[in-house]
Chains A and B, each alone.
Chain A
Amino acid sequence: MNFQLPEIHISLMLPELFLFIWALLIITFDVVTKRKNEHTVGYLALLGLLIDGAILSVTGYGSGFGNMFFNDPMALFFKVIFLGSAFMAIASSFGLMHQKIVNHRGEFYALILFSTVGMMFLSSSDELLSLYIGLELTTIPLFVLAAFFKDDRLSVEAGMKYFVIGAFSSALMLYGISFLYGLSGTTDLVQMKINLAITHLTFKDIGVILSLAVLLILGGIGFKLALPPFHQWTPDVYEGAPTPVAAFLSVGSKAAGLVAFAKIFINGLYAFYGAEMAPNDWGRLVGVGAILAMIIGNVVAIRQTNIKRMLGYSSIAQVGYIMIGMVSMNEFGLTSVGFYMFTYMFANMGAFAVVAFFEDKSGSCQISSYRGLSKTSPFLATSLTMFLLSLAGIPPLAGFVAKYAVFAAAINMATSGVAYHWIFWLVGIGLLTSVFALFYYVNPVKQMFFSKEDSPYKISLSAPAFTVVLIGLIGIVLFGLYPDPILQFASQISASFGFLPH
């Protein structure tokens, strides 16, 4: 038998390899210097991410490892998001390192980097098994990070919850993948699409098994995305985990889930979205999830008194909005998803960063303890206000353009045919709940600005902390006023799939 070794093209994987080695070096450095260099480790991690970004920018597109590893615009776009969120998470954890974590700084940073490597790997894989491996590499470091405060009951609880549910959902997903493999005989996503269609046409009723596969995979990815009904872990984990980790979870891990979703559903199961060939219409199923996400996230967030829990529920709601773009399966739908995620990174990482700095100083995450902050720390209060308003979708901040893009994609799809009229429901509920959302987003704003007395805390920002807030602010203002470059770039995402209508 004539067996030919596939083309490797290892240079395509350079960013991942570099970051992986850099993470190992960081641990080594921390141990070798006897854990004395409090900030150096952190700066090294930041430097690594910057270098990795530079490497990424010259890596270029192409496929290697026998089509298992695929660098396309979508991979590149999301890798930028992963690196960005890792950068902001690390830069906002310096205060935490100083106060609470004495002995494991190297590990903390390295785990974040490992998780980032997993995400990057995931976004480049075009094949179910490597995708699964990427997803695991993303999640397992996060289990550890969530429980990083070993002596804190809440943190350990967060880690346990995240681990148990995460492991369970991974198992579900693997089971679903095995069904897909059984139906199509391949793990390659592009080939799978064709094979599935053939199987479907040949046997007429693969519906039950396919539905099962869809449900199982949706469960697995829904956990990463915190898409209801798989969202239960979110508020507890966000509350217990170290704040920068919660931030990283809410952006990086979510973006990774989105990539996995897009790859499996939009690429692999594309044929089963449309009405003409739908033994199981996963579009509607995800639509129901999105509706639940927007309602649960936005309504329950109103009652929260802890700002981390509030942001947790808000992130559930945000997934709902993103999924509207996802099920609006036209070219613009994917563009809007990419743009939404990109702006969400700035706003959410920024908001969490401010929460982290406030927590470092005051030790509290209660919304009521933000009372009067605008008088003692006007910059921080204004920044948090802008991040929250961007999350709420108030123009001219980037969050508004993102929401506009998502709803535009949805209405475009909904008006394109009777079969897609159900998307109007998503738009309607999405817009209505965004009014509720404003109510809780301005709650901390109200505390910070409307109170008569001064806050007892005056927060001075360290250099990396200031950088994070500044990056966030620039991101939401610049891409709110001038979103076109990012939209242009994001519009190439759909080219990765290359077969969508419009």
Chain B
Amino acid sequence: MLLSSLIFVPLIGMIVVMLIPKDKFSTIRWTSTIFSMIPMFTSFWITWDYFFNYSGSAAMAYVEGPFKWIPSLNVHYFLGVDGISVPLLFLTGLLSTISIVASFGINKRVKEYFAFFLLLEASMMGVFVSLDFFLFYVFWEIMLVPMYFLIGIWGGPRKEYAAIKFFLYTLFGSIFMLVSILIVYFTSQPHTLNILTLIKQGSALPYTLQMVCFIFFFISFGVKVPIWPLHTWLPDAHVEAPTAVSVILAGVLLKMGTYAMLRISWPMFPKALHSLSFWIAVIGVIAIIYGALVSMAQKDLKKLVAYSSVSHMGYCMVALAAYTSATAITGCMFQMVSHGLITGALFLLVGVLYDRAHTREIAVFGGLSSKLPVYSGIMLLFSMAALGLPGMSGFVSEFMIFIGSFGVLNKVLVSIAVLGVVLGATYMLRMVQKVFLGEFNLERWGGLTDINLREIITVAPLAVLVIAIGVYPKPLADLMSATIQHFITLVVR
């Protein structure tokens, strides 16, 4: 019931919000906050309970089902979580509520906005808890619809282009997944869509079939990550989307790609993974360097953060390529969580500045720290976290990834990836210097006000978590260690 409630409470919330008269803005806002806080606290409780009671074994916890849903198609309703989905559930619950609170400033078509947002939350939760392929695919696809509307209605100047590009790109990826799902389904004996059973049988598939399915899944999940060269939807979607949607995009949606790789394609097709791991690492390294270099050239703050996501997700891909090392995989999970927290916060903060200044161009700012000390301090904190300063979560994850992959992957490749850290420092520090240091333009920015309490509340939990994970990463690592050990035994078959 717990896992189902994660999906259905936001759905009920959506229906309730739709029944509220459309001019009662604050009722709508608070109703949706409450309906997103229930799953948030549920996800906190699941994390807590999982840590103490289930994290010792790799078995699925809170299993629901498999219940028959569409017997003619062999589809079941089957939910469950383990060490790699629990942290992401936590992240989804937290970021959804934060985003909803951060959207209180929306005053155009409020009702529709929050209804779509709750639908989005439900589908994201669904992806992380589904253990049936059909169910997984359904949630994966439903997500596109609210996202399309959220970008298309409340987005920036090029919103229509960005929305349809996002929709088409992801759908293009999904069709590859659909084909693979069907191929895997019909080659399994007896036919099943149960992801766990298919993982058990997967290694027995013929090599060619494994390669085909693996590559198809890789394209499909890679669009979401996004891997280079399938990333071009990301800057458009991020830049045009309203702040809260960018947070969700960067914080949760990108993680779905890497999560799905860990959950599905990696353990299911070990032979294919073995022969392709070098190329996956190459793709990851290209993403790291390319994303960092492009970030350096950005004039728009939001675009800079967006491209830095490409770079940061590249670390995940490198870690995933070093699949035999538990350290690397743990690092990958850490990077997913930490990137969700840090980039989510950065998008929120860029949104805070944009709400006041109505521009995001880096060059027009300067010396903001004298006028907006609190804002600048928080921004500095997250910029340091993003460039991997020790003591914060970004450092822990990157360190683990490098340690883990250095022993497994081509050493030259990993060394190039390490260069990404330097480049990351370059673009972040350059941004900090240009926006917060230097001369303050009193005439133009004299009227700016500092960050307000509501905005501080939205980023404060993220800051706490970033530092907590950075200083004491052990609990998070313990939470998933059993699952990751099990994962390694599956992928080295």
Residues in A lying within 8 Å of B, measured CB to CB: 335, 389, 394-396, 400-401, 404-405, 407-408, 411-412, 415, 427-428, 431-432, 434-435, 438-439, 442, 446, 449-450, 482-484, 487-488, 491
CB contact list, B180-224 vs A, under 8 A: 182-183, 185-187
In the bound assembly, the distance between CA atoms of A484 and B69 in angstroms comes to 8
Q: Which of B164, B172, B182 is close to A442, meaning CB atoms less than 8 Å apart?
A: B164
Please give me the residue from chain B that is nearest to A430 by CB atom.
Answer: B175
4 smallest A-B Cβ distances: which pairs?
A487-B72, A431-B175, A395-B138, A411-B182
Instruction: Name the distance in Å between B361's Cβ and chain A's nearest Cβ.
Output: 24
CB contact list, B121-175 vs A, under 8 A: 134, 137-138, 141-142, 144-145, 148-149, 152-153, 159-160, 163-164, 167-168, 171-172, 175
- Whether B137 contacts A431 by the Cβ 8 Å rule is no
A407, A408, A482: which has the most chain B beta carbons within 10 Å?
A: A408
Q: Does B178 contact A (CB under 8 A)?
A: yes
Contacts of B160 in A (CB 8 A): 446, 450
- Whether A408 contacts B164 by the Cβ 8 Å rule is no
Contacts of A491 in B (CB 8 A): 72
**What are 25 A-B contacts defined by CB distance under 8 Å?**
A335-B72, A389-B145, A394-B142, A394-B144, A395-B137, A395-B138, A400-B141, A401-B73, A407-B178, A408-B73, A411-B186, A415-B186, A431-B175, A435-B171, A435-B172, A435-B175, A438-B171, A439-B168, A442-B164, A449-B149, A449-B153, A450-B152, A484-B69, A484-B72, A491-B72
Instruction: Name the distance in Å between A325's Cβ and chain B's nearest Cβ.
Output: 13
Instruction: Name the distance in Å between A184's Cβ and chain B's nearest Cβ.
Output: 35
Please give me the residue from chain A that is nearest to B175 by CB atom.
Answer: A431
Q: Does B71 contact A (CB under 8 A)?
A: yes
In the bound assembly, the distance between CA atoms of A450 and B171 in angstroms comes to 20
In the bound assembly, the distance between CA atoms of A488 and B71 in angstroms comes to 9
- Whether A415 contacts B168 by the Cβ 8 Å rule is no
Contacts of A487 in B (CB 8 A): 70, 72-73
- Whether A488 contacts B175 by the Cβ 8 Å rule is no
Q: Is the interface of B mostly helix, strand, loop or mixed?
A: helix
Contacts of A483 in B (CB 8 A): 70, 72-73
Q: Which of B72, B142, B163 is close to A488, meaning CB atoms less than 8 Å apart?
A: B72
- Whether A442 contacts B167 by the Cβ 8 Å rule is yes
Instruction: Name the distance in Å between A393's Cβ and chain B's nearest Cβ.
Output: 9
In the bound assembly, the distance between CA atoms of A431 and B175 in angstroms comes to 6
Please give me the residue from chain B that is nearest to A410 by CB atom.
Answer: B182
In the bound assembly, the distance between CA atoms of A411 and B178 in angstroms comes to 11
Instruction: Name the distance in Å between A408's Cβ and chain B's nearest Cβ.
Output: 5
Contacts of B141 in A (CB 8 A): 394-395, 400
Contacts of A484 in B (CB 8 A): 69-72
- Whether B142 contacts A438 by the Cβ 8 Å rule is no
Q: Does B179 contact A (CB under 8 A)?
A: yes
Contacts of A450 in B (CB 8 A): 152-153, 159-160, 163
Contacts of B70 in A (CB 8 A): 401, 482-484, 487
Please give me the residue from chain A that is nearest to B176 by CB atom.
Answer: A431
In the bound assembly, the distance between CA atoms of A439 and B69 in angstroms comes to 31
Q: A428-B179, A450-B163, A488-B72 are in contact. List 19 more A-B contacts (CB 8 A).
A: A389-B145, A395-B138, A400-B138, A401-B73, A404-B73, A405-B73, A408-B73, A408-B185, A411-B183, A411-B186, A432-B175, A435-B175, A446-B164, A450-B159, A450-B160, A484-B70, A487-B70, A487-B73, A491-B72
Q: Given A396-B138, A407-B178, A442-B167, decide whether A415 and B73 contact each other with a Cβ distance below 8 A.
A: no
Contacts of A412 in B (CB 8 A): 182, 186
Interface Cβ pair total, 8 Å cutoff: 81
In the bound assembly, the distance between CA atoms of A389 and B134 in angstroms comes to 18
- Whether A408 contacts B182 by the Cβ 8 Å rule is yes
Please give me the residue from chain B that is nearest to A424 by CB atom.
Answer: B179
In the bound assembly, the distance between CA atoms of A401 and B70 in angstroms comes to 10
Contacts of B185 in A (CB 8 A): 408
In the bound assembly, the distance between CA atoms of A395 and B181 in angstroms comes to 15
Contacts of A405 in B (CB 8 A): 73
Contacts of B149 in A (CB 8 A): 449
Instruction: Name the distance in Å between A498's Cβ and chain B's nearest Cβ.
Output: 19
- Whether A438 contacts B152 by the Cβ 8 Å rule is no
In the bound assembly, the distance between CA atoms of A488 and B72 in angstroms comes to 7
Please give me the residue from chain B that is nearest to A428 by CB atom.
Answer: B179
In the bound assembly, the distance between CA atoms of A438 and B145 in angstroms comes to 11
In the bound assembly, the distance between CA atoms of A428 and B71 in angstroms comes to 26
Contacts of B142 in A (CB 8 A): 394-396
Please give me the residue from chain B that is nearest to A405 by CB atom.
Answer: B73
Instruction: Name the distance in Å between B274's Cβ and chain A's nearest Cβ.
Output: 24
In the bound assembly, the distance between CA atoms of A400 and B174 in angstroms comes to 13
- Whether B145 contacts A394 by the Cβ 8 Å rule is yes
In the bound assembly, the distance between CA atoms of A427 and B164 in angstroms comes to 24
Q: Which of A396, A435, A442, A488 is close to B148, meaning CB atoms less than 8 Å apart?
A: A442
In the bound assembly, the distance between CA atoms of A169 and B157 in angstroms comes to 51
Contacts of A482 in B (CB 8 A): 70
In the bound assembly, the distance between CA atoms of A491 and B70 in angstroms comes to 13
Please give me the residue from chain A that is nearest to B209 by CB atom.
Answer: A415
In the bound assembly, the distance between CA atoms of A288 and B417 in angstroms comes to 48
Q: Given A449-B153, A484-B72, decide whether A435 and B168 contact each other with a Cβ distance below 8 A.
A: yes
Contacts of B178 in A (CB 8 A): 404, 407, 431
In the bound assembly, the distance between CA atoms of A435 and B173 in angstroms comes to 10
Contacts of B168 in A (CB 8 A): 435, 438-439
Contacts of A335 in B (CB 8 A): 72
Contacts of A427 in B (CB 8 A): 179
B164, B178, B187: which has the most chain A beta carbons within 10 Å?
A: B178
Instruction: Name the distance in Å between B487's Cβ and chain A's nearest Cβ.
Output: 28
B164, B168, B175, B179: which has the most chain A beta carbons within 10 Å?
A: B175
Please give me the residue from chain A that is nearest to B108 by CB atom.
Answer: A452
Taken residue by residue from 317 to 331, chain B's Cβ proximity to chain A (1 for < 8 Å, 0 otherwise) reads as 000000000000000
Contacts of A389 in B (CB 8 A): 145
In the bound assembly, the distance between CA atoms of A439 and B161 in angstroms comes to 11
Contacts of A408 in B (CB 8 A): 73, 182, 185-186
Instruction: Name the distance in Å between A392's Cβ and chain B's nearest Cβ.
Output: 9
Contacts of B138 in A (CB 8 A): 395-396, 400
In the bound assembly, the distance between CA atoms of A369 and B445 in angstroms comes to 43
